């Protein structure tokens, strides 16, 4: 039976560290500030933004929320980002994705100055991750690395398989595992013999966005299984990309959904905002 990697417990520990750092910065006259922009009425995005606001408040950070209507033009959004780029009270800027279709996501992300890009999506920050000389890490992969560290799971020399090659999770996740000397395979929709490839993994990260995609016959006995997926079933229940009931008896460690990777993403965002505040104030 697998040990649960509890994201709620680990994220609480990270948030306590952040709270202490914010308190220390305030004594130096610096209050870290995070600006979150949301365009439109996407229900999931609204929940994420509300959770980010709560986390800012709990840590003592300043929180700036900009809720824009669905029909906001690209020019209006770019003008707001430019204003926030120039605002010294704002250390981190996050534009909640996905954006409405008429807005160019790449253009919007690239307009956030790299030193305030606390999601680490700007090409300059992505390049820094590639060479291992980074200021920020994308929140979800960084949160996963924190979980592995917390559980003393050694990555060096291990076979690591990442299912999914998105710019937000899959690609940066593979880089972070590589930086810790894992032997990394990235799988995707064109991968042949996916089951056999996954079964080699000592550490398996599922970030494919398909409910219960990873089944017991894809998992090596004793593997560490990290489930990044969050999918809503027809009955309204949330589930991950891993069939938890099937895989849990086979794995040595597993993350639940909800309560696994999700809480770590917001905790890492808070951490990134503190890092940004320190760098911008030469602390």
Please list the active-site residues: 52, 96, 119
Task: List the structure tokens of 75.
Answer: 């020019």
Specify the 3-state DSSP secondary structure of 131. Answer: helix
Cβ atoms of 18 and 270 within 8 Å: the answer is: yes
Strand order through the sheet with 203-206: 3-4, 253-254, 224-227, 203-206, 159-163, 183-187
C-alpha 275/C-alpha 172 separation (Å) is 19
Q: Are the C-beta atoms of 2 and 153 separated by less than 8 Å?
A: no
What is the C-alpha to C-alpha distance for residues 68 and 66, in angstroms, rounded to an integer?
6
What's the rounded Cα separation, in Å, for the pair 180 and 171? 15
Q: Where are the beta strands (DSSP E) in the chain?
A: 3-4, 33-39, 62-68, 92-95, 159-163, 183-187, 203-206, 224-227, 231-232, 238-239, 253-254
Between CA 136 and CA 95 the distance in angstroms is 16
As to burial, measured by CB atoms within 10 angstroms (0-12 exposed, 13-18 middle, 19+ buried), residue 172 is buried
Beta-bridge mates of residue 205: 162, 226
């Amino acid at each position: 039976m697998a040990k649960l990697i509890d994201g709620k417990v680990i994220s609480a520990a990270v948030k306590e560290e952040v709270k202490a750092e914010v308190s220390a910065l305030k004594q130096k006259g610096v209050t870290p500030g995070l600006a979150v922009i949301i365009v439109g009425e996407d229900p999931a995005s609204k929940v994420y933004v509300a959770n980010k606001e709560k986390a800012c408040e709990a840590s003592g950070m300043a929180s700036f929320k900009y809720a824009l209507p669905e029909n906001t033009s690209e020019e209006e959004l770019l003008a707001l980002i430019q204003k926030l780029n120039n605002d010294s009270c704002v250390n981190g800027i996050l534009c909640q994705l996905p954006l409405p279709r008429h807005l160019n996501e790449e253009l919007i992300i690239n307009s956030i100055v790299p030193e305030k890009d606390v999601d680490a999506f700007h090409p300059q920050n992505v390049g820094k991750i590639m060479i291992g000389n980074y200021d920020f890490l994308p929140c979800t992969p960084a949160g996963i690395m924190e979980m592995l560290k917390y559980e003393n799971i050694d990555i060096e020399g291990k076979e690591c398989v990442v299912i999914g090659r998105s710019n937000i999770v899959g690609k940066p996740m593979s880089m972070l595992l590589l930086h810790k000397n894992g032997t990394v395979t990235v799988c995707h929709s064109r991968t042949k013999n996916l089951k056999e490839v996954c079964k080699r993994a000592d550490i398996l990260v599922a970030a494919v966005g398909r409910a219960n995609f990873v089944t017991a016959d894809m998992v090596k006995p004793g593997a560490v299984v990290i489930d990044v997926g969050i999918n809503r079933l027809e009955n309204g229940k949330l589930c991950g990309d891993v069939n938890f009931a099937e895989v849990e008896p086979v794995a040595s460690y597993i993350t639940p959904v909800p309560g696994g990777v999700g809480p770590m993403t917001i905790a890492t965002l808070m951490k990134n905002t503190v890092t940004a505040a320190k760098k911008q104030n030469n602390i």
